[in-house]
Amino acid sequence: MNLLTRRDHSRAELKRKLLAKGCSSPCVEEALERLARQGYLDDGRFARRWAESALAGGRCVGARLLLELQRRGVSREVASEAVAAVSAEQSERQVLAGVVAKRYAGFDPRKAPLQERRRVYGYLLRRGFSPAVVSEYFREWEEGE
């Protein structure tokens, strides 16, 4: 319960942490089932909250967001539902604009040298933004929109 008071965890994360603390596998499974029945452990809720946080912070979007949720032990179906739900609330373009404004406050693609534009472009791609959205964003800047 102490682990769940700080933040939500996926079932897989909590299982891994309890096993690392030396709990036996049958006891861990029993505890996880009890927590799920009582509503304290819910992969869907965890996935949605984590995805909202990651999207709001610009840590990742799209396919990268889906991958990160799966790395945390969330099934592909649950992760897909969470990504679809949070993506409907905020467009990729809005998140990209926020990331650029926050991380690269003085960045202007019209004045930036090619090397710096490539660096920013690569950073955005590694965060999971689609090349089409990033290219369109840069093009809008260059056209002065």
Does one domain contain both 78 and 105? no
Q: Return the percentage of the chain with pLDDT > 90, whole number.
A: 37
**DSSP classification of residue 42:** -
Instruction: Give the pLDDT confidence of 87-110 residue by residue, as tens digits.
Output: 888 788 888 888 888 888 888 888
Q: Which domain holds residue 11?
A: 2-89
pLDDT greater than 70 at residue 144? no
Does one domain contain both 77 and 9? yes
Q: How far apart are CA 143 and CA 110, in angstroms?
A: 9
Q: How far apart are CA 109 and CA 78, in angstroms?
A: 38
Tokens for 2, please give them. 């102490």
The string of DSSP letters for 129-142 reads --HHHHHHHHHHHH
Instruction: Give the pLDDT confidence of 118-135 residue by residue, as tens digits.
Output: 999 999 999 889 899 999
- The amino acid present at 141, given as its one-letter code, is W
Q: Does pTM top 0.95 for this prediction?
A: no
- The amino acid present at 27, given as its one-letter code, is C
pLDDT greater than 90 at residue 47? yes
pLDDT at res. 90: 79
Q: How far apart are CA 18 and CA 27, in angstroms?
A: 9
pLDDT greater than 90 at residue 70? yes
Tokens for 7, please give them. 């933040």
pLDDT at res. 105: 85
Question: How many domains does the structure of the chain reveal?
Answer: 2
Does one domain contain both 16 and 69? yes
Residues whose CB is less than 8 angstroms from the CB of residue 44 and which lie 6 or more positions away in sequence, other chains included: 78, 81, 82
Average pLDDT taken over every residue of the chain: 88
Taking residues 12-36, what's their average pLDDT?
A: 90
